[in-house]
Amino acid sequence: MVISSSNSYFKGNLDVVKVNNPSKINVKRFAQNGQIHIYQSSYRGSYSSIIRDSLRNAALGRKVLLVQFMKGGVKQGVANAVKLCGNLTWVRSSHSFDLYNPEEIKNDKNLKESIHESTHELWNFCKKELLSGEKDQIILDEIFLAIEMKIIDKDDLISTLENRFISGDVILTGTGIPKDLLLMANQITELRS
């Protein structure tokens, strides 16, 4: 099911375009930012199509950033991001963890601190990328789970999205999506099994 809402471009992001007219050349300013797409599902691990599409976009020459907030196990981090197709930067946590056992995380203070630290590192990196305008597409995989766990502040995400500078799309995935973010989306896709 796909639900679309109206596009809300950020007014501070103005580009200049030359409009050719036979009698004269006009310069026209317009605001343009990529769209916000939200993919939601009732279960984790349902976003393989997004990863497939990010690979395809990178192979077509688009600069893509894929950040998996709640995946670990590879001790990757921002410093050891994987580069694919010359254009896809794929980043996971710098600490080893996987969030399939929330009780274990809640009861293990060291593990909880490790997850918070590595997720904040990823988020700070993402904020810089969203504001830089250097990527054509940015995918924030399972960012809503990081908000639900109170690792990333929802208002910080909203503010960053409102002030982003990216001509391509920002894709957000997860379960339990806050209403404020649903209202910002240009497209909402619900994935079902």
pLDDT at residue 15 greater than cutoff 50: no
CA distance 100 to 192: 20
What pLDDT score was predicted for residue 174? 85
- pLDDT (mean) for 90-101: 72
pLDDT of 54 > 50? The answer is yes
CB atoms within 10 A of CB 158: 15
d(CA 76, CA 90): 9
Mean pLDDT of the chain: 78
pLDDT number for residue 16: 39
Report if pTM > 0.85.
no
Q: How confident is the model at residue 58 (pLDDT cuts 50, 70, 90)?
A: very high
Question: Is 118's pLDDT higher than 70?
Answer: yes
DSSP 97: -
pLDDT at position 45: 63
More confident residue, 110 or 14: 110
CA of residue 130 relative to chain centroid, distance: 8
Percent of the chain with pLDDT over 90: 33
| Residue 64 predicted with pLDDT over 90 | yes
DSSP for 112-164?
Answer: HHHHHHHHHHHHHHHHHHHHH---SEEEEETHHHHHHTTSS-HHHHHHHHHT-
Quickly state the pLDDT bin for 120 (edges 50, 70, 90): very high
* Coil, helix or strand at residue 182: helix
Give CA separation, 46 vs 119, 136, 161, 189, in Å: 20, 23, 24, 12
Domains and CATH numbers, the chain: 34-191 (3.40.50.300)
pLDDT for 154 equals 95
- Residue 87 pLDDT: 94
Instruction: Taking residues 134-142, report their average pLDDT.
Output: 92
Whether the per-residue pLDDT at 189 is higher than 80: the answer is yes
